[in-house]
Structure 1
Amino acid sequence: MSEEKLIVIYDTFCGWCYGAAPVFDAIVDTDAKVEVLHRHLFDGPYAPKMSEGKGAQILKLIPHVEGLTGQIFSEAFKDNIARSETEVLASGLSAQAAALVHDQGPEKEFALRHRLETLHFGEGMSSTDRQAIVDALIAEGVAPDQAERIGTPELEAKATAYAERAKVLMAAVGSRGVPTVLKVSGDHVTQVDHQTFYGRPETVPANPAEFTSI
């Protein structure tokens, strides 16, 4: 019998993924086999400018996400990001940062994710601030010369490959957005209900078989 595993598909700067962060971390902290994939959701024509409606949409959604998950969006985020006249929500640099540490395992990738979430949703750091992302990588123990690879075609290609794999998996189960959590058993892939653990990540089961499929 094939060993079951979980795949967590996320985007660092997605508000719902930030809301699900405690559940993500609880999943990785179990003894289950876990893979994480950065979706690279906000890119090119899909990188919205906050002043063109995205910011207002986020501000309207924040109370719902906070109430459901317990995750708090700071005033710095609301003022510097959601209400900004110039801010663009982009995933390219965070996807590359995730790709850079991906091979070191989900714990490493999610430690970086947590640091970037704190900077973005807590301190109001722009998703396009390359230097802040480079500094975050270095703070997580990545060698400076490696961290400076952010923005290179090679790293962009690696990030795109992970995102494309995530996209294919999501399409296979009919998922339209992130966060998405999948259960894999051999060639069988199902989407599982991670939302039931919002606000109570301590109830996340250690065994993938115990997750309820959608």
Structure 2
Amino acid sequence: MKLVYVFDAYCGWSYGFTPTLAEVTRRHPGVPVEVVSGGLFTGARRVPIRQFGYVGGANAKIADVTGVPFGKGYESLIEDGSFVMDSEAAARGMAALRALAPDRAVDAAEALQRAFYVDGLSLSDPETYRVLAARLDLDPDALVAAFEAPAARTAAAADFRRSRELGVEGFPTLLAVDGDRARVLAVGHADADTIDRHLR
């Protein structure tokens, strides 16, 4: 069995799920975790953040329910309103991080989201991956090259396809996958104790 975590780096509830996922992986160190990027903000949904009028209220609820912090850098992006969230670029970033640190995908996903939700860094900007490389002790040139490589675009498309094949309809979704069988453990929000009960 393995866990499959389907998230979107630009999804606030995925960011809020970070502490739960960290606790689940701490409790089950022998269980592999596959991290898959979803395509929340692609196509017609790739618009300035000001067009999502619910963001401020949603973030307040996420912080209240999960305890995750939203940083000043991120809040400045919300106030300005012109920033465009591009899930395809974020998925390329996740693919690049997975390529360089395949055993640290959960940590990489957390670092990716903190870069946006705390520091207000664009996940479309190659320079962001230099910052992430320093935080994760990776080669910055290699990470930027992986982010910009055609293989990252292919991997992002494969992630979106895998998310659809798993039947994921909301982010984040955590599944237990055993062979051809997939069982949903959590969608949106859950604590580690609840996930443990589902695993049992």
Please give the TM-score of this superposition, normalised by the length of structure 2: 0.84
Measure, in 2, the Cα distance between the counterparts of 1:17 and 1:183: 17
Match of 2:161 in 1: 164
Instruction: Please report how far the alpha carbon of residue 87 of structure 1 lies from its aligned counterpart in structure 2 after TM superposition.
Output: 0.5
Measure, in 2, the Cα distance between the counterparts of 1:137 and 1:43: 25
Structure 2 runs not aligned, ≥5 long: none
Match of 2:122 in 1: 126
Instruction: Please report how far the alpha carbon of residue 138 of structure 1 lies from its aligned counterpart in structure 2 after TM superposition.
Output: 4.8
The one of 165, 169, 177 aligned to 1:176: 169
Deviations 1:124-166 (A, max 9, x none): 2233332112431354233334222223322211222122112
> Taking structure 1 as reference, are residues 181 and 209 closer, same or farther at Cα in structure 2, changes over 3 Å only?
same
Match of 1:92 in 2: 88
- RMSD between aligned residues: 2.4
8 Å contact 1:183–1:208 — kept in the other structure? no
> Taking structure 1 as reference, are residues 33 and 152 closer, same or farther at Cα in structure 2, changes over 3 Å only?
closer
Deviations 1:102-143 (A, max 9, x none): 25435x222222223222111222333321124313542333
Instruction: Please report how far the alpha carbon of residue 101 of structure 1 lies from its aligned counterpart in structure 2 after TM superposition.
Output: 3.1
Measure, in 1, the Cα distance between the counterparts of 2:171 and 2:123: 17
Match of 2:44 in 1: 45
Measure, in 2, the Cα distance between the counterparts of 1:208 and 1:102: 27
- Please identify runs of 4+ aligned residues in structure 1 that moved more than 4 A: 201-204
8 Å contact 2:14–2:171 — kept in the other structure? yes
8 Å contact 1:94–1:133 — kept in the other structure? no
Alignment of 1:51-130 (within 5 A): 51-52=50-51, 54=52, 56-78=53-75, 80-103=76-99, 104-106=101-103, 108-130=104-126
Structure 1 runs not aligned, ≥5 long: none
8 Å contact 1:5–1:208 — kept in the other structure? no
- Size of the aligned set, in residue pairs, is 195
Measure, in 2, the Cα distance between the counterparts of 1:7 and 1:185: 10
Percent of aligned pairs with the same amino acid = 21
> Taking structure 1 as reference, are residues 48 and 177 closer, same or farther at Cα in structure 2, changes over 3 Å only?
farther
Please give the TM-score of this superposition, normalised by the length of structure 1: 0.79
- Determine if the alignment matches structure 1 residue 20 to structure 2 residue 17: yes
